[in-house]
Structure 1
Amino acid sequence: MATKVLSEARPAIRSIKRVCRPSFRTAATAAAQKKEGDISDAFASLSGMSFEPLEPRFKEVKARLIAGNEQAVHESWNRLLASLREETSTISKLGSKVIPTIDFKDIDNASDEFRNEHKKRGVAVIRNVVPSHEVLEWKDGLREYIKANPQTKAFPPDNPQVYELYWSPAQIKARAHPNLIKAQRFLMEFWHSKDPHALVSSSHPTMYADRLRMRLPGDAKFALGPHVDGGSCERWEEEGYGRGRPYDAIWQGRWEEYDPWESSTRLPVLSDLYQGVGACMSETGPYEGTLLVNPLLNRATAYFLLRPFFSPKVAAEETTAESYSEAFLHPDNWKMDLANSWLHGATPGHGQELRPSLHPHLNLPSSMIHVPRVNPGDYVSWHCDTIHAVDKVHAGQSDSSVMYIPACPLTVANAEFVARQRECFLNGTPCPDFGGGKGESEHVGRPGIADVEAVNPVEGMQAFGLRQWDSDAPGLTNGQREVMDRANKILDFYD
């Protein structure tokens, strides 16, 4: 079968409905553009909203989730609190040292120690993925692109830090770079499937167009607190994450058996029921506008999912230190409570947020730790369920700049998304997951297909949906061959 590659002269492509962190794009969203906006629209806290009980139907959603397992869930909650107390103490003492680090040249022979720590923590740093001089050239190019297009939207408008840019020359070069695609493949292969026939290939990254940040010293407005990407209320809803049931072990009172790296259960998930707007380029260290993470992957996930099912018997005393007494946190002070519609930190159409007052047992002031100091060309990865945040204040002396470049496997749903995203790329409009509008359609210097091909004519073009996948390549599983064939048909390469 002849290989097909899209060219600039190709007629309009049919639309298919549908930061460094490995994530799964799952299920289809409506074809229409989302409302125009910026990053503040994606989070309740940045939009000035407060957290409060949701509509009454969520009370019934919670009751159905654990029906018949109430006692087992209560017992598992008590075990979880004990485990969290021990683990958060360890994290508080070790800080950034718990985050595994590896050099790009070593990823083909990664040690068992690195692999085990990465699976446990859900966070990793890969050093020297792209040469620093090349990345600094990208950053200079970004500044020129922004200067040439002063109409670019950004947050906050009076002192831009996060730009609504998806198709700048620098982003195109980074996403298609052979080293970055190899690093993504390495990270995605930590995932596995209990279904040998699952239509997913973690060996074949697809491109996802996220934004970029160029945070300036002294900034305190982009104070995005602890949060988790991939929806909020959807994690508890039958028609959201309930479609694939990745969290069943948690709902059944067996949180220790929850496997955050199992992929097949995430394939049917719908993470955007409410149409929410939802690579390092600097030398950046702690308190310099950098990333904070909670490296307690399975425990932290189990906790924020179970938190809405429990309430304290005796409320906490007023505190300004965001810390709580042993008596308040003790399991004996917590009862199962299914009489309310709280989903703590969840708001329809916004990301899942976490706060010490809502999630006291996570001890967020201590368990949210800075990633190690990173340099231009390093790649910071975190699991799609990882709690993460940014420094409240950028107290450094230079900009803290990153491109958000998720690693996404080839799946049927991701192929559907890439088809829509490809049309946005050709037209210069925002990635379908984000605020709509004309985006960069009128920007000077916006790249096209030839620019992707110049960087990486095979894997880069495939990741962008601009070249067909080779389902006849040796060594593929039957599931990989089938998902490639389906993707090629979705992307209009097969009749």
Structure 2
Amino acid sequence: MASTVLPGARAGRRVIQSLQKTSKQAVRNAATTSQKREGDISDAFASLSGLTFKPLEPRFADLKSQLIAGNEEALYDSWNRLLASLREEIPLIAEKGPRIVPEIDFKDIDNASEEFKAEHRKRGVAVIRNVMPEQEALALKKELRVYLEANPSTKAFPAENPQVYELYWSPSQIKARSHPNLIKAQRFLMEFWHSKDPNALISSSHPMIYADRLRMRMPGDAKFALGPHVDGGSCERWEPDGYGKGNVYDAIWQGKWEEYDPWESSCRLPVVSDKYQGVGACSMFRMFQGWLSLSNTGPFEGTLLVNPLLSRATAYFLLRPFFSPKKPAQDPTAETYEEAFLAPNNWELNRTPDSWLHGATPGHGQELRAQLHPHLNLPSSMVHMPRVNPGDYVSWHCDTIHAVDSVHAGKSDSSVMYIPACPLTVSNAEFSARQRETFLNGTPCPDFGGGVGESQHIGRPGVEDVRKVNPVEGMMAFGLLEWDSAEPNLTEGQKEVMDRANKVLGFYA
């Protein structure tokens, strides 16, 4: 890795000093700049916002027609192959339950087994054990509570009984995101991705920090009942100026779902995942969402559920708006339900597409429901994460369907810090420049609800606190120190993306 004194370190300090001088004025101007409206996690999802799923504006019907034009027969055949594959895979998932989630100990990630690698590629989810020593993770939770007690004005959801806090810059979050072990774990995960373009401007070996929230869910809570959903936008996945900018799902639209590669990164670089400026809609390219556990938490104890079908589930929820049943649904408890309603010969391609995008609402995350996505058999294919301990890191691919327990039936808190894994790209560097300013100001991360945030919070950390935790990798990941394009063994694409990122971040003229 690079030495602690980089060629542009002095220039970097000047950049940070300049930003710090303007931070007070920036806080005063926050309400009139590029901040999103104020809000909390409920604003990110239609179901938590009290909205209902319904047909969208008519342009989406035209968009659907254009997506599959000329591929109708291939799409119908592909759909039937997909349904057959789901019928084979879902019983295996239901049988294994949490055991289907691949696990690895942090000390083994440099020599991961082929079995782990194969299962991770197929499932898209993982638990990395012992990324942080248990006592260190518990100390972070204790420090979080001290920070919250010192700052009772902190926003949270639900307001009357907080479970998810609008915190982005607490001392504990700064320490966790910058932790050398966590950055190494993220690098390990992101290197499962690959690029068909050897010169693509991306480096999966250089994690960037994304400031997300945290959860401290208490026993008995049923308000933070977030059902199956996918992060990274909703309608954008079907739109030509959304995911279509990178042709991410072309194989699926062409009737070749088996050829869709969820691990190809270069196609994701031009994607616009937040067209509608939704509160909490992620505009950074996150290869994985993830969290660091601060509790001993098992199934039904307020934890995460995932759908480990990855490419199949993605293909299904994208294709579902193009197909309708010939006969309506019967009672799902009836013996003939699967045979009559779910049978492939009961489903047909809509020759005149409507404007439904099942579970998609502009400005909100993609949601899934058993009624809207029946072939996924969500009650069986959504499985709990295995029991986790403080210091374990849980990750899931950015297209993975996931949910949280509808009720926390455990006896102690279920606490995590959301810490996704983001690669170095030019657009991520652009976001990092904006995020860096909010860090210095104490205002919320740019993707989330605006307002004064933690700008007046007691004990809020600064640049030197990041430097103390990880003076090189942590500072670079935060956009507080320039990337070292002279680092050994870099590809030409990695060198160029580092140079461009440094320019975006203000380290180069």
Using the size of structure 1 for normalisation, the TM-score is 0.95
Match of 2:254 in 1: 252
**What is the CA deviation profile of residues 292-316 of structure 1, one whole-angstrom value per residue up to 9, with x for unaligned ones?**
0000000000000000000000000
Q: Could you tell which deviates more after superposition, 318-327 or 49-58?
A: 318-327
Match of 1:3 in 2: 8
Partner of residue 293 from structure 2, selected from 268, 277, 280: 280
Match of 2:499 in 1: 485
Q: 1:251: Cα distance to partner?
A: 0.4
Match of 2:284 in 1: none
Match of 2:470 in 1: 456
One-letter code aligned to 2:362: P
Q: 1:397: Cα distance to partner?
A: 0.3
Partner of residue 439 from structure 1, selected from 453, 459, 464: 453
Partner of residue 379 from structure 1, selected from 390, 393, 400: 393
Whether contact under 8 Å (2:229, 2:368) holds in the other structure is yes
Cα distance between partner residues in 1 of 2:246 and 2:269:
7
Match of 2:322 in 1: 309
Whether contact under 8 Å (2:60, 2:355) holds in the other structure is yes
**What is the CA deviation profile of residues 281-333 of structure 1, one whole-angstrom value per residue up to 9, with x for unaligned ones?**
10000000000000000000000000000000000024579994321001100
One-letter code aligned to 1:347: T
Q: Does 1:397 align with 2:411?
A: yes
Query: Helix, strand or coil: the match of 1:11?
Result: helix
Whether contact under 8 Å (2:102, 2:120) holds in the other structure is yes
Match of 2:27 in 1: none
Q: Decide whether aligned partners of structure 1 residues 323 and 385 sit closer, same or farther in structure 2, where only a CA change above 3 A counts.
A: farther
Whether contact under 8 Å (2:164, 2:215) holds in the other structure is yes
Q: Does 1:422 align with 2:442?
A: no
Moved over 6 A (4+): 320-323
Match of 1:25 in 2: none
Q: 1:88: Cα distance to partner?
A: 0.5
Cα distance between partner residues in 2 of 1:183 and 1:323:
47
One-letter code aligned to 2:8: T
Cα distance between partner residues in 1 of 2:49 and 2:14:
41
Match of 1:27 in 2: none
Match of 2:381 in 1: 367
Q: Decide whether aligned partners of structure 1 residues 315 and 494 sit closer, same or farther in structure 2, where only a CA change above 3 A counts.
A: same
Cα distance between partner residues in 1 of 2:335 and 2:344:
19
Q: 1:6: Cα distance to partner?
A: 3.1
Query: Helix, strand or coil: the match of 1:6?
Result: helix
Q: Decide whether aligned partners of structure 1 residues 356 and 323 sit closer, same or farther in structure 2, where only a CA change above 3 A counts.
A: farther
Cα distance between partner residues in 2 of 1:384 and 1:158:
31
Cα distance between partner residues in 2 of 1:70 and 1:438:
51
Cα distance between partner residues in 1 of 2:93 and 2:203:
33
Whether contact under 8 Å (1:324, 1:360) holds in the other structure is no
Cα distance between partner residues in 1 of 2:398 and 2:175:
24
How do 1:267-346 residues align onto structure 2 when only pairs under 5 Å count? 267-278=269-280, 279-319=292-332, 324-337=337-350, 338-346=352-360
Cα distance between partner residues in 1 of 2:397 and 2:472:
27
Match of 2:285 in 1: none
Cα distance between partner residues in 1 of 2:15 and 2:425:
26
Partner of residue 183 from structure 1, selected from 182, 185, 203: 185
Cα distance between partner residues in 1 of 2:38 and 2:160:
18
How do 1:260-271 residues align onto structure 2 when only pairs under 5 Å count? 260-271=262-273
Cα distance between partner residues in 2 of 1:201 and 1:414:
11
How do 1:139-218 residues align onto structure 2 when only pairs under 5 Å count? 139-218=141-220
Cα distance between partner residues in 1 of 2:339 and 2:163:
40
Cα distance between partner residues in 2 of 1:353 and 1:7:
44
Cα distance between partner residues in 2 of 1:310 and 1:11:
56
Q: Does 1:243 align with 2:256?
A: no
Q: 1:242: Cα distance to partner?
A: 0.4
Which consecutive unaligned segments of at least 5 residues does structure 2 have? 1-5, 24-31, 281-291
Q: 1:12: Cα distance to partner?
A: 2.1
How do 1:25-104 residues align onto structure 2 when only pairs under 5 Å count? 32-104=34-106
One-letter code aligned to 2:66: R
Cα distance between partner residues in 1 of 2:7 and 2:401:
44
Whether contact under 8 Å (1:176, 1:456) holds in the other structure is yes
Q: 1:2: Cα distance to partner?
A: 1.7
One-letter code aligned to 1:424: T
Cα distance between partner residues in 1 of 2:332 and 2:100:
29
Query: Helix, strand or coil: the match of 1:289?
Result: coil
Cα distance between partner residues in 2 of 1:324 and 1:290:
31
Which consecutive unaligned segments of at least 5 residues does structure 1 have? 16-29
Whether contact under 8 Å (1:173, 1:455) holds in the other structure is yes
Cα distance between partner residues in 2 of 1:464 and 1:240:
26
Q: 1:219: Cα distance to partner?
A: 0.2
Q: 1:277: Cα distance to partner?
A: 1.1
One-letter code aligned to 1:172: I
**What is the CA deviation profile of residues 219-247 of structure 1, one whole-angstrom value per residue up to 9, with x for unaligned ones?**
00000000000000000000000000111
Match of 2:286 in 1: none
Whether contact under 8 Å (1:8, 1:450) holds in the other structure is no
Cα distance between partner residues in 1 of 2:209 and 2:407:
31
Q: Decide whether aligned partners of structure 1 residues 45 and 256 sit closer, same or farther in structure 2, where only a CA change above 3 A counts.
A: same
Match of 1:21 in 2: none
**What is the CA deviation profile of residues 359-407 of structure 1, one whole-angstrom value per residue up to 9, with x for unaligned ones?**
0000000100001100000000100000000000000000000000000
Match of 2:3 in 1: none
Whether contact under 8 Å (1:323, 1:356) holds in the other structure is no
Cα distance between partner residues in 2 of 1:145 and 1:254:
51
Cα distance between partner residues in 2 of 1:294 and 1:258:
18
Whether contact under 8 Å (2:300, 2:409) holds in the other structure is yes
Whether contact under 8 Å (1:429, 1:439) holds in the other structure is yes
How do 1:111-130 residues align onto structure 2 when only pairs under 5 Å count? 111-130=113-132
Cα distance between partner residues in 1 of 2:149 and 2:335:
42
Q: 1:31: Cα distance to partner?
A: 7.0
Q: 1:474: Cα distance to partner?
A: 1.0
Whether contact under 8 Å (1:228, 1:384) holds in the other structure is yes
Query: Helix, strand or coil: the match of 2:120?
Result: helix
Q: 1:39: Cα distance to partner?
A: 0.2
